[in-house]
Amino acid sequence: MKLKNILFGLACMSFMASCADLDYREYTTYDKSYVFTDFGRTGAVVTNIYSYLDSDLPADGSLCSACDESEYAWSWSTVLGYTDGRWSSTNAYSRWSFEGIRKANFFLEESVNADFSELRFDKNYEAEMKRFNRYQYEVRFLRAYFYFNLARAYGDVPLITKVLTEEEANQVSRTPVAEVFDFIVKECDDIADELPVDYTKLENDAANGTSPETGRITKQAVLALKARTLLYWASPLFNEDNDPTLWQRAAQASKDVLDFCDANNIQLGKYSEIWGTENYKAKEMIFVRRIGDTNSPETTNFPVGMENGNSGNCPSQTLVDAYEMQATGKAWNEEGSGYDANNPYSGRDPRLGMTIAVNGDKWPDTNPNPLETYTGGRNALPIAGATPTGYYLKKYLDSTTDISSSTGSGGKRHSWVTFRLGEFYLNYAEAVFNYLGSADATDAVFTMSPVEAVNKVRNREDVKMPDFPSGMSADEFIQKYRRERMVELAFEGHRFWDVRRWKDGDSQKNIIEMQITKNGDNYTYKRVTKSRYWNDKMYLFPIPDSEMRKNPNLTQNPGW
């Protein structure tokens, strides 16, 4: 390996470790003449910016246990701070990070007019230049995506599109969230047509061949970011006056995603294909972040009571109750649903069995015994760390992973779903419903009703849930839609943010657990309510006190 490449690698590590927040810290900026005279070094800078994409695979600290999807089994977990009142500006669980944005700004500033002319006689020069010319659009997407994550957490945030000096960094002010959302939408509009749909089909391009760069930003990812941004912008947290034009724009953007996916053979497939080692190849995927080989989700969440099982994020009864009865399409507690209190998991939405492990399940495959989640059972309380809810997690875990000390084989590929088609049928349904005012409404533009859009998701080949009925009242549709969204997108990083953008904090004031008792060969099931702390200030994150001290121009979010 050349010395210059070793030094560049060390510089990358140093660059990644510094400037974790908006505060300025000393670091050596890459020299333009060094980075932008070598295609490999330039690509490494862009790859480093990609590394700031988020993921929330189930682990300690995952937001699934900071909302009513699940409950973390161990009392020492920091995630409990979201729900027990410890959350504060000095205990901020900070997402106030501008490092990816700073690096994107550096690339966009310093790459201007780079032509790699000294490499023009290389045989791959034309192909490499095509790839380089796309980088600016990929990086603009990444910067916009990072800003979306900041805005949904904090609301108003400083909108910075250049590299700052130390003095400038400590004087920035917060930009109104509407301006930040508008910036994201405009960036998406500007760059969408500059990016390919499928990198494997490019001709005369460095990304083609035996190792196509299938993990890069595509046009459909840009459309998806725009649509998600507009949905959040239209939602009650950020649309206090319920401006119908924001809902119209959100509906149109989601429709654009659906139309584009339909035209490019991106289709709903099996629900079970959403996770697993090959999930990035599933036909409904719009953008997936490759995490790599790891067994962390399994070692964190496999049941206590099997070798090296640690428990972890345990699905709540609140979530289980969202899964309707398959024969009737009704909630468990609706009259005529067909629910059997003595056999509570029979006849339910098939997504329940794919997502959640219940008492008696043979889970995972490497567990020699069926689960015993009843009180006193092999995988249950009072064993330390056992599930407090009566359930263990399946979704995003590989059931064939062996975590035993003697025969454990290490981790397998995991990939985090950033955007997939199922989300945008639901987003479309929500936006059109709020714009047109009815679950069955259509017009000349939005020819698919909200009910029809939701039914597309429920009609997957391995789900086949009854259609949403026509004629529902607004309140009936909202209740049923939110239940469907909780089920379809469970553990995919949506629920924590959905309850905030809807301003539905009251739903987070408690969580339901299932207490199971064994009586001979029979079981009794009792729902137990556990209180959680909620304050409306928690709709937005607190800006860390450390940032407020360094920058007098920052203002704190209300209540913190």
Domain definitions of the chain by residue range: 62-96+296-410+504-547
pLDDT for the residue numbered 1 = 38
pLDDT for the residue numbered 408 = 84
The C-alpha atoms of residue 236 and residue 500 are separated, in whole angstroms, by 9
SS (H, E, C) 235-262: CCCCCCCCCHHHHHHHHHHHHHHHHHHH
The C-alpha atoms of residue 128 and residue 249 are separated, in whole angstroms, by 37
Q: Answer whether 148's CB lies under 8 Å from 227's CB.
A: no
**Closest alpha carbon to 57 in 344, 268, 276:** 276
Please state whether 312 falls in left (phi above 0), alpha (psi between -120 and 50) or beta: left
The C-alpha atoms of residue 34 and residue 31 are separated, in whole angstroms, by 5
The C-alpha atoms of residue 177 and residue 186 are separated, in whole angstroms, by 14
The C-alpha atoms of residue 260 and residue 225 are separated, in whole angstroms, by 14
Please tell me what DSSP assigns to residue 293: E
294 Cβ contact list (under 8 Å, min separation 6): 411, 412, 414
**Dihedral of CA 551/552/555/556: which sign?**
positive
The C-alpha atoms of residue 184 and residue 221 are separated, in whole angstroms, by 13
Strand duo 285-294 + 510-519: pairing: unpaired
The C-alpha atoms of residue 387 and residue 316 are separated, in whole angstroms, by 10
197 Cβ contact list (under 8 Å, min separation 6): 218, 219, 220, 264
Task: Please give the full DSSP string across 184-224, using - where no structure is assigned.
Answer: HHHHHHHHGGGS-S-GGG-SS-TT-SSS--TTS--HHHHHH
State the Cα angle at 418 between 56 and 502, rounded to 5°. Answer: 80
The residues facing 514 across adjacent strands are 527
The C-alpha atoms of residue 426 and residue 506 are separated, in whole angstroms, by 23
Q: Answer whether 286's CB lies under 8 Å from 46's CB.
A: no
**Dihedral of CA 280/286/292/297: which sign?**
negative
The residues facing 285 across adjacent strands are 420
The C-alpha atoms of residue 189 and residue 229 are separated, in whole angstroms, by 12
The C-alpha atoms of residue 430 and residue 482 are separated, in whole angstroms, by 9
- Judge if the upstream peptide bond of residue 303 is cis by omega within 30 degrees of 0: no
Q: For residue 426, how far is the Cα from the chain centroid?
A: 15
Helix residue ranges per DSSP H, 437-519: 450-458, 474-488, 495-501
Angle, helices 99-110/39-50, rounded to nearest 10 degrees: 150
Listed in order, strand segments (DSSP E) in 33-157 are: 70-72
The C-alpha atoms of residue 541 and residue 28 are separated, in whole angstroms, by 31
**Closest alpha carbon to 224 in 196, 254, 187:** 254
**Closest alpha carbon to 309 in 399, 425, 205:** 399
pLDDT for the residue numbered 5 = 43
The C-alpha atoms of residue 375 and residue 161 are separated, in whole angstroms, by 56
**Dihedral of CA 424/426/427/431: which sign?**
positive
- Judge if the upstream peptide bond of residue 364 is cis by omega within 30 degrees of 0: yes
Taking 50 as the pLDDT cut, the residues of the chain under it are 1-28, 209-210
pLDDT for the residue numbered 212 = 59
Angle, helices 3-17/39-50, rounded to nearest 10 degrees: 20
Please tell me what DSSP assigns to residue 380: B
Q: Answer whether 313's CB lies under 8 Å from 64's CB.
A: yes
Residue type, 376: G
